[in-house]
């Protein structure tokens, strides 16, 4: 996956507050898009004159089994596999890492959309190289005036409007909706489903944390995963210093290139000392606390970002980070009385938050319980968005996603009260 980096003035380079999300970029002319008959665009009016356009793709020559609504993560754009897509010689704006073809082949219609402030990339991207396409996205696909007002709660509200628009549209209104949220998208879906503001027949979450988003922000910013990995490595290998690659080897964990880079950042170079480990961990925890308590920024300050090395002057409003820090309910607690089937899919190599144990969903230390029909599955060999080292979900993993969708779809189709 490709991740937006957050840069907050006055936060001393605090760069990762739940920014584990990806975006979609298209390159017109490189590959043929879906034929017009297989896709419709549905505009959604928002407040302040803003709008979102939903793209719905349809399986050929058959009535869709259900409508899968792909909810983007915190980056806000529809393709979870952006970075890898950009590097392809023949870029297909409809691929989304192979997700579209897999869902259509399985008989599902699929809806993609980006958050407010993003144009449909197929309408605004130009360029023959990955760098040119990324630059084109930053320059031509982002309405920075609208992004300056985006907060966590406004994303939740807009997500609800998307589901409502699909329910009210004559082409999609009769189709059973299944939510497919990526990463932070699960926060928005669980809030809305728990409140009854949306009624998806089922939910399949990809990399959507069960822990509160406030905990995710702390976990990422303080580099807790990499501190724990280093502690494990030193416990197993009796050396005073370990190289970054040796840390992964001693810990018995495969290190992907992004993970190696994050560990280098944590270590402050290619080598980490056993004695220096507690100091590095404390430094990153202090960075998080500085960001949390910083009083310098005005109420309506904006958060800048970067994309593929290209600066973005506006990513979100400061309220986005503030609301993250105060979002203390787990997604299981947020789901509350929701009665549909829920499946959480996690890559076993995901390092953005602590992974739950596979099996039935559990709410630890809370007054509420998990939905009755809720389970966790860990998928070996892949990371946050179920991508492998090459940046895409392998075919077998896409099959796993389809099986999960089939499972929640079948559960929704059972007569009420029927035992499984």
Q: Residue 253's pLDDT is what? A: 84
pTM for the model stands at 0.85
Evaluate if residue 56 carries a pLDDT over 70: yes
Question: Does the pLDDT value for residue 5 go beyond 70?
Answer: no
Query: Which of the pair, 48 or 179, is modelled with greater confidence?
Result: 179
Q: Is pLDDT above 50 for 16?
A: no
For the chain, give the secondary structure using H, E and C: CCCCEEECCCCCCCCCCCCCCCCCCCCCCCCCCCCHHHEEEEEEECCCCCEEEEEEECCCCCCCCCEEEEECCCCCCCCCCHHHHHCCCCCCCCCCCCHHHHHHHCCCEEEECCCCCECCHHHHCCCCCHHHHHHHHHHHHECHHHHCCCCHHHHHHHHHHHHHHHHHCCCCCCCCEEEEEECCHHHHHHHHHHHCCCCCCEEEEECCCCCCHHHHHHHHHCCHHHHHHHHHHHHHCCCCEEEHHHHHHHHCCCCCHHHHHHHHHHHCCCEEECCCHHHHHHHHHHHHHHHHHCCCCCCCCEEEEEECCEEEEEEEEHHHHHHHHCCCCCHHHHHCCCCCEEEEEEECCCCCCCCCCCEECCCCCCCCCCCCCEEEEEECCCCCCCCCCCCCCCHHHHHHHHHHHHHHHHHHHCCCCCCC
What is the pLDDT at residue 212? 93
Residue % of the chain over a pLDDT of 70: 87
Across the range 284-302, mean pLDDT stands at: 69
pLDDT band at 218 (very low <50, low <70, confident <90, very high): confident
Is a pLDDT exceeding 80 seen at residue 10?
no
Higher pLDDT, 31 or 332: 332
Q: Judging by beta carbons within 10 Å of its beta carbon (0-12, 13-18, 19+), is residue 11 exposed, middle or buried? A: buried
* Averaged pLDDT, 349-374: 86
- Residue-level pLDDT at 328: 93
35 confidence band (pLDDT: 50, 70, 90): low
Residue 119: predicted pLDDT: 83
Q: Which whole number is the average pLDDT over 225-234?
A: 90
| Position 297 confidence tier, pLDDT thresholds 50, 70, 90 | low
Confidence band, pLDDT 50/70/90 cuts, at residue 37: low
Q: What is the pLDDT of residue 363?
A: 82
Ranked by mean pLDDT, the top range of 14-18, 249-253, 330-334 is 330-334
- Mean pLDDT across 54-62: 92
pLDDT of residue 33: 53
Residue 11's pLDDT band (cuts 50, 70, 90): very low
More confident site: 261 or 258: 261
pLDDT in tens, 123-172: 887 888 888 888 888 999 899 999 999 999 999 999 999 999 999 999 99
Q: Quote the mean pLDDT of the chain.
A: 85
Mean pLDDT of 403-410: 98
| Residue 282, pLDDT score | 87
Residue 27 has pLDDT above 50, yes or no: no
Mean pLDDT of 324-345: 94
pLDDT-derived band at 32 (thresholds 50, 70, 90) equals very low
Summarize pLDDT for 193-211 with one digit per residue, the tens.
Answer: 999 999 999 999 999 999 9
């Amino acid at each position: 996956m490709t991740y937006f980096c957050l840069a907050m003035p006055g936060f001393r380079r605090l760069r990762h507050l739940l920014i584990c999300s990806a975006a979609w970029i298209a390159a017109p002319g490189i590959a043929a898009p879906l034929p017009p008959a297989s896709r419709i665009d549905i505009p959604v009016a928002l407040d302040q004159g803003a709008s979102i356009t939903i793209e719905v793709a349809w399986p050929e020559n058959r009535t869709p089994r259900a409508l899968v609504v792909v909810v983007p993560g915190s980056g806000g754009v529809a393709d979870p596999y952006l970075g890898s897509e950009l590097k392809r010689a023949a870029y297909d704006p409809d691929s989304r890492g192979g997700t579209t073809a897999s869902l259509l082949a399985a008989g599902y219609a699929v809806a993609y959309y980006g958050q407010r402030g993003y144009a449909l990339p197929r309408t605004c991207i130009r360029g023959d190289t990955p760098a040119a396409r990324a630059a084109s996205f930053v320059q031509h696909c982002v309405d920075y005036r609208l992004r300056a007002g985006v907060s966590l709660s406004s994303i939740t509200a807009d997500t609800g409007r998307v589901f409502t628009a699909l329910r009210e549209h004559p082409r999609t209104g009769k189709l059973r909706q299944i939510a497919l949220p990526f990463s932070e998208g699960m926060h928005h879906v669980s809030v809305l489903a728990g409140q009854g503001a949306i009624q998806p027949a089922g939910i399949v979450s990809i990399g959507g944390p069960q822990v509160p988003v406030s905990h995710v922000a702390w976990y990422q910013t303080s580099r807790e995963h990499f501190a724990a990995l280093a502690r494990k490595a030193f416990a197993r290998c009796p050396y005073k210093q370990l190289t970054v690659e040796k840390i992964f080897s001693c810990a018995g964990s495969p290190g992907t290139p992004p993970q190696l880079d994050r560990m280098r950042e944590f270590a402050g170079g290619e080598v980490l000392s056993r004695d220096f480990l507690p100091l590095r961990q404390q430094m990153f925890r202090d960075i998080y606390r500085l960001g949390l308590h910083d009083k310098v920024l005005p109420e309506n300050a904006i958060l800048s970002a970067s994309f593929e090395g290209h600066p973005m002057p506006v990513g979100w409003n400061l309220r986005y980070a503030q609301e993250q820090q105060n979002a203390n309910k787990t997604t299981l607690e947020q789901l509350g009385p929701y009665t549909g089937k829920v499946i959480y899919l996690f890559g076993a190599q995901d390092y953005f938050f602590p992974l739950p144990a596979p099996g039935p969903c559990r709410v630890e230390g809370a007054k509420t319980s998990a939905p009755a029909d809720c389970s966790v599955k860990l998928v070996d060999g892949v990371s946050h968005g179920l991508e492998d080292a090459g940046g895409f979900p392998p075919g077998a993993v896409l099959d796993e996603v389809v099986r999960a969708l089939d499972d929640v779809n079948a559960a929704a189709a059972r007569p009420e009260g029927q035992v499984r």
